[in-house]
Structure 1
Amino acid sequence: MQTLKALLHFYSTITAKQILIGLVSLSIVAFFITQTAIADRKESLSWEPWLLEYSAVYCYGLVCPIIIFCCKKWSLDETHRYKSMLKVAILYIPFTFLFISLMIGTRHLAYLLIEGRLWDNGDLLTRYIYEYPKTIGFYCAIVFGAYTKVYFETYQKEQIHAAKLNEQLLTAQIAVLRNQLQPHFLFNTLNLISSTMYQDVDKADSIIMRLGNLLRYSLAAEQKPWVTFNEELQAMTSFLEIAQLRFGDRLSTKIEIEPQVESVLIPAMLLQPLLENAVKYGIEPSDDMGGVHLKAYSEDGMLCITIMNPLLEYENQQPSFGIGLQNTKERLELLYGDSANVSLVQQGNNSIILTLTLPMQ
């Protein structure tokens, strides 16, 4: 009973479009079969060959969903393959009996409506025996087509499921990399506020305001993983201003941005760990004056970002360059694949240049 309900439900899911395509396909097949039947019989054209062949094709099409339903239900995976093949082979007997019965009944009804008599089908048992082997080819073709369709549908679902899992994994990986902000900067900023608030309240207030802007931007990045370069730059300006308040005259900053790259989308918080590395390894270890130079421009359809800072402890950091740069490289690889590039080169004896190359989007 459950199987019958499931079968009826399967029939109810057939759309009008599928019915129309099926009717057109069956009509074309029936047309060619009828032409062959007329040619073989050497008879003058009449309505009988058309009725006989079209009734057979349409009746077969009407019960074909049973085969498709069973093929979907009987899996051909390794654990059920032989059992399912046996079921499909056995199904041929009742399925063909149902088809022949439906075809004979349809022909009787048609003859009653047209000529007022039943169709002369001869001996009923002989008719069944005659019709059974004729349908083996059609049955095998439908089974093959049904399992092919099931295979591709299953394959497509698996691909979609795998793509969703990869997307979730990618999102999680990117979130982890983006959220691994070094506490070094935050601790130093809090210490700076603590040491400044009793000596220079205005300066401490300025640091707190800029830190608040940066943290607010970092939290917003959770909901907005892509930002324009201009939005990123505004947040990073707060970062550099905090660093300038911390190091005073020891740090100078220079920012050069081409107007056409301001609206380019980049991953949020992309520049923070790189600028932090520039300050941490290029300014903090030395008492000498140093500068951080940020530049962004377009070249051959790519967004190029360079960060230049003094060469101090970077000699001891290669080739890892610290966790900030390593996370950035992994982020860009996940987001852009081979389309993005990160390089770190020494310029003379006094400076080092980090270059990011991203597709403009």
Structure 2
Amino acid sequence: MLGYYQPKNERMLFLLLLTAILTAIIVFLAKYGLNYLFVNQKEYQLFLDFSLPYRAIIAFLCLTWCALANILWYRLEEQSETQGRLLAAQNLAKEAELNKLRHQLQPHFLFNSLNSVYALTIVNPTEAGTMITKLAAFLRGTLKRDDEVWVNVAEEMEYIQLYLDIEKVRFSHRLTIDVQIEENTLGLCLPGTLLQPIVENAIKFGLYNTSAAITITIKVKLENNALVICVANPYDPEMTASKGTGFGLSAIRRRLYLLFADSNLLQTETQNNNLYITTLKIPQKDDKNDTN
């Protein structure tokens, strides 16, 4: 019965009353059944009458223990199922928010690129055609990787190179990219499309406030079992926008927190030579590499 009906906490007294009634029925049936079987043994009948209260107490305790153990078992089972459903719901919500953040990071880059294509169609149609081709390849790669949560460094840097080729078409000789990747990091994993907003942020704050040529440096290395990616760009200390508090970096911090429950994996700093450095750390574990 308890397998189909679980009493609430306020009805536990009713369960104890039901157990007492069941105990009385068992003791009553046992008394008259044993008296019937041993009708000619007066001493045993006297023993049955004498031990009746003790047998009733023992039967009540046993039935109560069985009932409470049964309730505890089913409630633990129900709690485990509820916890499983809650965990599944949290995972679905986390994945939905991750997908939302990933898709929010792309449109502003696309709008900027389309504006540049429009400008190039007037002054340099050949370069505009080249940029459209590279932009199509970049967007095709974005759609292809849309369901991939984890990618290795080699794949991510190939994806970033497409983006950098587009930016080089936009800014021509003004933009120089220095990429330094340690060989032992190429097989390591990181969340897909995570690096592109950081590089875009560096180009934006490095180029938009100056007409001079600049160099963006990207360094990828392994430190203390963590993939470390440093992106450095020159900046104008008088421009408040160079603090890097825009949507891009905040969305990346949020995404990293959802994946690792750590809000300190993305750090920014400035140096005396007007250099702005964004450092991204991705913890590496075997289970992450297996998910790729």
**For this structure pair, what is the TM-score category when the shorter chain's length is used for normalisation?**
0.7 to 0.9
CA contact (8 A) 1:253 1:292 kept: yes
Aligned residue-pair number: 274
Asked whether 1:325 is paired with 2:252, we answer no
CA contact (8 A) 1:75 1:81 kept: no
Q: Which residue of 1 aligns with 2:196?
A: 272
Distance 1:196 1:142, change over 3 A: same
The residue type paired with residue 230 of structure 1 is A
Q: Which residue of 1 aligns with 2:128?
A: 204
Asked whether 1:77 is paired with 2:11, we answer no
Aligned equivalents of 2:143 and 2:154: distance in 1?
A: 17
Question: Deviation at 1:186?
Answer: 1.3
Aligned equivalents of 1:352 and 1:85: distance in 2?
A: 71
Question: Deviation at 1:282?
Answer: 1.3
Aligned equivalents of 2:246 and 2:256: distance in 1?
A: 16
Distance 1:197 1:146, change over 3 A: same
Aligned equivalents of 1:85 and 1:317: distance in 2?
A: 70
Distance 1:314 1:181, change over 3 A: farther
Question: Deviation at 1:141?
Answer: 2.1
Structure-2-length-normalised TM-score: 0.82
Query: Bigger CA drift: 311-320 or 166-175?
Result: 311-320
Q: Which residue of 2 aligns with 1:353?
A: 277
Aligned equivalents of 2:191 and 2:126: distance in 1?
A: 33
Asked whether 1:341 is paired with 2:257, we answer no
Aligned equivalents of 1:316 and 1:322: distance in 2?
A: 11
CA offsets 1:221-248 (integer angstroms, 9 cap, x no match): 3311111111111111111111111011
Residue 240 (structure 1) aligned to one of 154, 161, 164 = 164
CA offsets 1:285-310 (integer angstroms, 9 cap, x no match): 22111111111000111110000011
Aligned equivalents of 2:55 and 2:17: distance in 1?
A: 18
Q: Which residue of 1 aligns with 2:290?
A: none
Aligned equivalents of 1:227 and 1:153: distance in 2?
A: 38
Structure 1's unaligned 5+ residue stretches are: 1-69, 105-119
Aligned equivalents of 1:317 and 1:290: distance in 2?
A: 18
CA contact (8 A) 2:19 2:60 kept: no
The residue type paired with residue 215 of structure 1 is L
Alignment root-mean-square deviation, CA:
3.1
Q: Which residue of 2 aligns with 1:122?
A: 38
Structure 2's unaligned 5+ residue stretches are: 286-292
Distance 1:295 1:97, change over 3 A: same
Question: Deviation at 1:343?
Answer: 1.0
Distance 1:315 1:159, change over 3 A: farther
CA contact (8 A) 2:94 2:258 kept: yes
Q: Which residue of 2 aligns with 1:294?
A: 218
Q: Which residue of 1 aligns with 2:89?
A: 165
Identity of aligned residues (%): 26
CA contact (8 A) 1:74 1:84 kept: no
